[in-house]
Structure 1
Amino acid sequence: MVLIHHTRAWLERLLEVFTVFLLLALTFIVLAAVAFRTLGSSLAWYDEVASIGLAWLSFYGANLAAIKRAHMGFPGLVSSAPAPLRAALFVLSEIIVIGFFVVIAYYGYHVLEILAWDHLVSLPSVSLTITQSVIPISAVLFILCELLSLPSAWQKMRTGIDSEQEAIEEAIRLAEEDLKESRT
């Protein structure tokens, strides 16, 4: 259990750092493109690279949300169900989510084989297998994130804790602390 916790914390931190890096890189690319266009010289590769960067940010950001169990769901519905049904709904939802990402990883990998001979139009030295690798890699990461966050999610489900309500209560607590600090 300790190994799972440490692995989860390590992967969460890695995903945080990588998504922040992607966000900063994308911001820099957009600002550079604006500056170059203002000076009358456009970057030929901007549109293609920026759209790929946004896709990567979305995919890896989804992994970060998965490890934090912050993706969309129906925790209120599950937590309000009777205990046996709650457990069944939880297991079913995990099987569906993980099964979906197994399919995405499998076919995402096969797409890489098809794209092996293609390159970016604006940067012919960059293979599409690099840009599209985000699909199978993030699908496998999503599965790993789900599995690493499963024990704590299972425990919350067993005790009937609604993670959305828990997040709302934490946000209210933090806002009240900020309010107290601003008054002093």
Structure 2
Amino acid sequence: MPALRATANLLGVVLEWFTVLLMVLLTAVVIVAVLARLIGESFSWYDEVAAIMLAWITYYGSALAALKRRHIGFDTVLLAMPPRMRGAALVLAELIVLTFFVLMAKAGFEVLAVLQGSYLVSLTWVPVQLTQSVIPIGACLFIICQLLSLPDYWTATRKGISLEHAEIEVEVEQEMQKAAMTHDFKDSR
């Protein structure tokens, strides 16, 4: 289990940095394009590149969200079920999600085969296969991240802990402790 957690942590750091890098690059591209338009020039490649970068941010960010279990979920419904049903529902939900992304990866590889020899319209030296590789890569990363995060999610769900509400509950608890300490401090005066 420690090796699994270390792998998840390493992948999380890589995905965070890569996603942030993509966001910074997209911001730079947008700023450069706006400044160019202000001086009367316009880049033919801006729209195409910005759309591709936004798609990449979405796919890689989605894998990161899967790793941290931050996608929209139904923890409240899941945790309202009896424990045996909860486990079965969790397994079914995971199988549905994983099946979807396996099919998406398969379709993504098929798309790459079809796009062989195609290049971007505005940047004729960039292969479309490169830009669209995010589909199967993103799907495979999502599967890996989902599987890496599954043991902790399984444990939390079996214990009746909602990952959706865990952070909120921790914050509330910290604020309650601060309030109690402030109250105790005022009473001691």
TM-score (norm 2): 0.91
* DSSP 3-state at the match of 1:117: coil
- Structure 1 residue 172 displacement after superposition: 4.0
Verify: 1:17 aligned to 2:21, yes or no: no
When residues 144 and 178 of structure 1 are mapped into structure 2, their CA distance, relative to the original with a 3 A threshold, is farther
Aligned mates of 1:89, 1:126 — CA distance in 2: 45
Q: Which residue number corresponds to residue 136 of structure 2?
A: 136
What displacement does 1:118 show? 1.0
| Distance change >3 Å, CA 172–CA 19, structure 1 → 2 | farther
Distance 2:125 2:56 in 1: 19
Q: Which runs of 4+ in 1 moved over 3 A?
A: 170-180
Tell me if 1:114 matches 2:123: no
- AA aligned opposite 1:35: L
Paired residue type of 2:90:
F
* CA–CA separation in structure 2 for the residues paired with 1:139 and 1:178: 43
Other-structure match for 1:41: 41
Separation in 1 of the partners of 2:49 and 2:170? Answer: 38
Structure 2 residue aligned with 1:7? 7
CA-based RMSD: 1.8
In the TM superposition, what are the counterparts of 1:56-67 in structure 2 within 5 Å?
A: 56-67=56-67
Q: Which runs of 5+ in 1 are unaligned?
A: none
1:164 CA drift (Å)? 1.5
Query: CA 1:174 to 1:3, structure 2 compared with 1: closer, same or farther past 3 Å?
Result: same
In 1, Cα distance between equivalents of 2:171 and 2:66: 19
For 1:103, the equivalent position in structure 2 comes to 103
Shift of 1:177: 9.1
Relative distance call for 1:7 and 1:31 in structure 2 (3 A) is same
What is the Cα deviation at residue 73 of structure 1?
1.1
Percent identity among equivalent residues? 46
Cα displacement (A) at 1:170: 3.2
Post-superposition CA distance 1:76-95 (Å, at most 9, x none)? 11011100000000000000
Which protein has the larger Cα radius of gyration, Structure 1 or Structure 2? 2
Q: 1:43-82 alignment to 2 at 5 Å?
A: 43-82=43-82
Report the equivalent of 1:146: 146
Write the distance in 2 (CA, Å) between the matches of 1:174 and 1:10: 28
For 2:89, the equivalent position in structure 1 comes to 89
TM-score using structure 1 length: 0.93
Query: Please, which moves more after superposition, 122-131 or 170-179?
Result: 170-179
Find the aligned partners of 2:121 and 2:24 in 1 and give their Cα distance. 24
Structure 2 unaligned regions, length at least 5: 182-189
Looking at structure 1, the residues matched to 48 and 97 of structure 2 have their Cα atoms a distance apart, in angstroms, of: 30
1:124 maps to 124
State the number of aligned residues: 180
The structural deviation recorded for 1:178 is 10
Cα gap change, 1:130 to 1:76, in 2 (>3 Å):
same
The amino acid that maps onto 2:122 is S
